[in-house]
Amino acid sequence: MARRTIISGNWKLNLSVAEGVDLANALKDSAAASEAEVVVFPTALSVACVADACTDSAVAVGVQNIYWEDAGAFTGEASAPLAKAAGCSWVLIGHSERRQYFGETDETVNKRLQATLNAGLKPMVCIGETLAEREAGNLEEVLSTQIKGAIGDLSADQLKELVIAYEPVWAIGTGVVATDEQAQDAHAFVRSVVAEVLGAEAADAMRILYGGSVKPDNAAGLLGKPDIDGALVGGASLKQDSFNGIIDAAAAASV
């Protein structure tokens, strides 16, 4: 099955409102010319303005995190309905930095995933192992636990829009990238777990992205692997030239 490539950028805690709008505008031409789906995840304070700037363009916008309740006395949180009202179409869920710094668990990932789906938004759920877990031979156990914990008791029909982003924690922001073969092996395993839980048809259709120090010079090799359906880009998504270079690499990989 042909799966449409996604090139997504997680801006994390970077870029002012004005800088985010400028960058989004600078990505529009490449996104329009690409067969890949292009998504950016600005900060919560920038997301509405970036979404407004991206109206009627090929650049989709998502929020980096949501709370699982729609409204209430939850100071500092943002809900899926509010994200949708701000112009978002995507939600990033369970990034390793959320797990490491803010107490995210597989259980809360599942709650955020359900809230995202209930609001009619598209979820991008992050999974990945630490270096210690990989070196101990626990990669498959960790990934399987995270996938099954995230999906919970949701059905294949409910999860048609789900995208999984595999990000080895040891490669995020370090400049170290998994080899093309390491990434492909992990993606193939992730797809096998999805098949186990949701069935072969759902697994074949699901897009699985790679994240972890993706740059223009390594993107084509990664994206050329059969089970890698795109990239979740960190630092390289903060600059027009490098992010556009990765968008262009998606076209080269598909040839």
Taking Cα atoms as reference points, which of 223, 225, 116 lies closest to residue 162? Answer: 116
Catalytic residue list contains 196: no
Look up residue 232 and give its amino acid.
L
- Among the listed residues 104, 129, 167, 187, the single catalytic one is 167
Q: What are 122's strand-pairing partners?
A: 90
> Quick check: is 167 catalytic?
yes
Residue 223 CB contacts under 8 Å (≥ 6 apart), including other chains: 5, 230, 231, 249, 250, 253, 254
The DSSP bridge pattern shows strands 37-41 and 6-10 to be: parallel
What CA–CA distances, in Å, run from 217 to 8, 36, 202? 17, 18, 32
Whose tokens are 């880009």? That residue is 233
Q: Smallest Cα–Cα separation from 21: which of 44, 47, 39?
A: 47
249 contact partners, CB below 8 Å, separation of at least 6: 216, 219, 220, 223
Q: Report phi then psi at 10, rounded to 5.
A: -95, 110
* Tokens coding 71: 């409204």
Indicate which residue of 95, 97, 104, 129 is catalytic.
95
User: Does residue 78 contact residue 63 with C-beta atoms inside 8 Å?
Assistant: yes
CB atoms within 10 A of CB 207: 18
Could you give the residue numbers annotated as active site? 95, 167
